[in-house]
Every structure is written in structure tokens, then in C-alpha cells.
Chain A
């Protein structure tokens, strides 16, 4: 490809290998577990906060491994794995305040956990007993969205509603509200995500677009989505974009917190690109060995978000074996809760399919419901 004088080769700008994330990557904790500083997003963390991040990531990984195992045992029809993305999700999730509202895609198990959703409730959709059983109003955590990127618009519209409610820029930390739209690198290609960027910019909506760039949209690599780093797209829409090391929970927290505060203060949207890697498959039906190199996976293993924090915590005497054991015990308990709870999730009844199609049920649907009930009843006592 030639550039015919239009500027640098985009492949050079983008880089043939993306594993390092480029010089723009915001990082506070290196893969080796060394604390580094950043001139814009630096932040001090207490020992308690750091231990909390560790615990959260261990538990989130356990949710994922247990659910994956449950799928292998036939208890779930499918599971969308988050292995490797724990820091991105905990860093974002812990930066949220109660009133902040999250619009997830279908992989935000760690964010759901941060928002107080019982992880067991995440399993229903994947087991096929419901489409999402948690009440979004309980934790301001929306239902999972399967159609890629559709929720970016819902988040933006919700944020426009927040504006109209006067819940931004008041200076009241209990009132000012930010909205988060989660999506992945693949969704960045969708029209809805781009339209959400336009609406958010146009109305200065208090929304943070949190893109977990895990490098793969099923088998399509990031190079098939974008010829520039994704965070740079924000500039074209007229708001800031930041690329953060999504395997660094400290940096993800710091960057997301700043973006959320910007939204709450009424300064408008931000795109956060959490640069990470999907260590597992897209879902449990996927076979990533067909489309990616083992070397890449091995390379990303060295950047593991939990391992690097554990190194840092141990090296600085912030945790001991007893704490690590406690967290492991808690994870075991969570695993037990998921295993036993999953099997106990009640199957829906055939007649449940008619519920909640409408707020006000039309007569014709009522007749269909009644007819089907009578049909089912006709079998009773037949055997």
C-alpha cells in the first residue's frame, strides 16, 4: 500500500504487533508487578483498596471458571468467557458509584459483580431459564444485550435522560450520575456504536464508552475492525479517548474514574479503550486454536492481571499467605454457590412464555394463552 503523500503509513502508526499497546498506553502497574507513574492519571491506592482489587479479580475469575465448567458439564447451554479481562472489568466496576448506570454487553460478569448482582443470576440467560433475572433497578446494572453494540445507544439515551433530570454538574456526589456503555472491539464496527458516539457528542451526554479491546471479535482480529488505535476514533467524534492497559487494574480504575467524573461534572462523553486480551474463547462454542497463534496467547499470559498485582502486593508486604488463603476460601465458597445454585435454578414453565410480552395484554394473545393452556391440560391424566 502506498500513501501517495497523505501522511504516514497507517500500519506504521498502528503497528504490526499490538501486544504492547503502544506508547500511549496508560499504565500504573507493569506486567512484572512494578508500580510506575503516569503524568495524567496517577493515583495513590490504600493497601485495603489494593487487596480489594485482588480479591475482586480472584472472585471474578472464579465466576468465569465455574461457569465454564458448568457449561462443560451440560448445565449451561453456552458461556461467554472473560478470562484475562478481570482487571478491565474490576477497574471499571469499582470506579462506579451506586447511582451510575451500566449498560453491559454479555461478558460483563465482573462489572455485574461490582454492582452487587448475585453472579448466580448471570447464569440464567446462559442456562436458558430466562433472559436475565436481575432487576436492573436494584443495582443500576442493565440486562445483558446480545445484539452487538445496540446498548451503546440505550446508554446514550439514558444519559440524555440523566441530563434532563438535572443529575449532572450539580457538585453533589450523591446526585451527579454517569452512564457506562460496555462493548468490545468488534462492536466498534457497528453503526449503533458510531451513532451513539455522534449522539453523545452532539448532546454532551454523561456517558463513558468503555471498550474492552480484547483483540478478537470471535475470529476477526482487531486489524479487521480498525486501521487506527480504537481510542483515537473518539477524536473524530469530538470527545476524548484514552487507551489504558486493561490488564492493569490500577490504571483502569484511575482512567475510568476520571472519565466517570468528567461525565458526572457535565463535561460529556469519553471513550476508554481498555487494551486487553481474551485468553479464552469467544464463547464456549468457539475454538480459538483455529484462528490465532499459541505464541500470542503465551505472550499475553505474561501480562496476566492477577499475577502482576499479586507480585506487587507480596513484594511490598501488603498481603500474606493467610490473606491469599482467605480469598481462595471465599472463591471456593462462591464456586459452590454457583454450582449448587445453577442446578437449582427453576426451569420456566411452558405457560411462562406468554408473560410480559406486553404491559397491557391484547385479547388475541390472551386467547392464544388460554387456548394453549387448555391444550396442555388435555394431556393431564393421559399417561
Chain B
């Protein structure tokens, strides 16, 4: 067993998928010789060649649109969108074409495409490099949306996403790429791709998080424990479809929920979670579902991004408010 970062886990997972299936391709800007701006595809072109690790022109719609054609020819492209804010030029191809091809063709077209998007903030970047567009894709039938939060999930989830016959928007918390290491057991049996997971057990309140905010939620739970409050933390992992059973089970035990994500609160994933929890756990609730997210502003200049991003204190503040009801 070896200790790996999220970046390494994704790289190893991509490599494994390419070894296992010659139809798997990697496409995107700078993914070849450079190995991607975050080095996630490092070394792949050297080992698999330019026909399988395709350095593309700088055109996001072109990357996704041509990847659709590749799917129709029987390939399984893994597309890299360099940064979250650059996905919008490809938005039409993703929402109107990738998402609907299977439906409009009555299943005759298969789009086993993975669209990798480094997402979220906290790296001090300029504008368009720190966004959280997940709700826009989770709102689109025909797409599946997942977010990994740690090196081990990165390794397994990317392989599972590539193996899926449905198109998957694969969100990677960019500030976690090179942050923490974890031990990878390549012989382990991973959880299913479209499942959420309780990552810390607790009894007093449930904190729902995904991607970069899982670490925030775990830190908040750690801090709360020192004050005698036990928080359960669930890493949602799959955003569309949502895996709600572990959430309902948790909420029925704790009676209090805080959702945290970096995306804007208004119409963000937290809204959907709040609605579903209310519909299903109404009589177990001690307080309304509270949301802690990015502000309803464009992503701010990076010198104040720490004020924009949900942090440990804002999560704990929401937990306090949940106890005030």
C-alpha cells in the first residue's frame, strides 16, 4: 500500500482505466505533454500515445462535441475541462447534446463520456477559476454528476465513472489535489459510484457536504466535539442522482441538518436537499434544514475568497442556530 494525493489517485485511476479498456481516451487542453495544468494526466500520453491522450485546440465546445462523435464511434472519452469557469463554452454541447443523445435516440446512441471539471475555490486564482457549477448539471436530466473529496475516492470513482455507460460530470476539488495523502489499497472493494457515505458518525446534527467542503465539515465536527457536540458528516459523493437513504437515516436520528457547499446558496444543491429532507423526515426534524454556502455573488477577488467560502466557523454557527429552534 502507498500513500497518495488526490491528484495521484486520479492519475492512477485514469491509467488503470486506459490499461483495462483500449477504447478509453483522454481529451482536453494541455492533457498530453504537459500532463494537464494540475498534472492529473501526467505521463499518460507518453505511455498511451497521442491518439489516446489527445492534446486539443483551445475550444471547450469543440472538445465535448468531438468527444460525442467519439462515443458514437464506440470510444469512451474522458474529457478534461481545465477549470470550472471554462465549462460554459461547452454548456450547449453538454446540456443539449451529451445529456439528450441517449433519450432522443431511444437508447441507440450511448454516450459513455466522463467530463472532468476541477471545481471550487481556495487556490487564490483569478476570476472564472474557482466556480462551483454543479447545480446547473444536476438540474439536467440525462447527466450524472459526482464529486470526489479524497485520494481514495479519486482513484476508484474515476474508474467507475469511466465504466458507466451514462455520461458523468466528474467534479474534482482542485484545492484538494495536492493537499492530503491517504493510503490506497488497490485490492479493496470500493463503494458504488452513485452512493453517499457517512464519513463521521455523530448523534446531535447531520452535516451534508461534498467535494471541498467535506474537509471543512470534518474540521467543524472535530471542533464541535471539543465542545461536547456530536456531528455526523455525510459525504454525498453523488449529486445526481442523490443517494438520500443514508441522509434520511441520519436525519431521523439527529433531527438537525446543515448543508454546506461552495456553490451559491440560491437554488443550489442545498435547496434540493432541504426540500427532500422536509418531505421525508418532517416529523423527525427539530429545526429547519440550514444552508451554508458561497454568497449569491459572482466569485469574488481571491483576497477575500476566504470570506466567501463556507468555513468551519460558519458551519458551526449554523449548527448553533439549528440548536436554537
Contact = CB atoms under 8 A, between A and B. Distances in A.
Interface of A: 103, 130-133, 135-137, 142-143, 145, 147, 150, 152-165, 191-192, 195-196, 198-199, 202, 355-360, 362-365
Which 3 A-B pairs give the minimum distances between C-beta atoms? A157-B69, A153-B65, A161-B73
A160 B106 CA distance: 25
A154 B92 CA distance: 13
A8 B97 CA distance: 42
Contact of A136 (B75, B105, B141, B240): B105
A153 B66 contact: yes
Contacts of B144: 358, 362
Contact of B104 (A103, A132, A363): A132
Given A147-B96, A150-B65, A160-B54, 16 more contacts: A135-B108, A143-B105, A156-B69, A157-B66, A157-B69, A157-B71, A160-B70, A162-B73, A192-B62, A192-B92, A195-B62, A199-B62, A356-B106, A359-B102, A359-B164, A360-B164
Contact of A157 (B65, B110, B244): B65
Contacts of B142: 357-358
Contact of B242 (A147, A165, A195, A364): A364
B92 A150 contact: yes
A202 B63 CA distance: 13
Interface in B83-109: 89, 92-93, 96-97, 102-109
A161 B104 contact: no
Contact of B75 (A152, A161, A198, A362): A161
A136 B109 contact: yes
B236 interface: no
A155 B107 contact: no
B110 A359 contact: yes
Contacts of B298: none
B166 interface: yes
Nearest to A157: B69
Contact of A158 (B70, B97, B105, B240): B70
B306 interface: no
Contacts of A147: 92, 96-97
A365 B141 CA distance: 10
Nearest to A155: B69
Nearest to A162: B73
B47 interface: no
8 contacts: A150-B93, A160-B66, A199-B57, A199-B59, A357-B102, A359-B112, A364-B241, A365-B241
From B66, B112, B141, B240, residue with most partner A Cβ within 10 Å: B66
A163 B70 CA distance: 10
Contacts of B38: none
Contacts of B93: 150, 153, 192
A156 B73 CA distance: 11
A196 B65 contact: yes
B248 interface: no
B165 interface: yes
B104 A156 contact: no
Contacts of A360: 164-166
B74 interface: yes
A192 B97 CA distance: 12
A242 B67 CA distance: 28
B76 to A, nearest CB: 11
Contacts of B104: 131-132, 143
A357 B140 CA distance: 11
B249 interface: no
B25 to A, nearest CB: 8
Interface in B173-230: 194
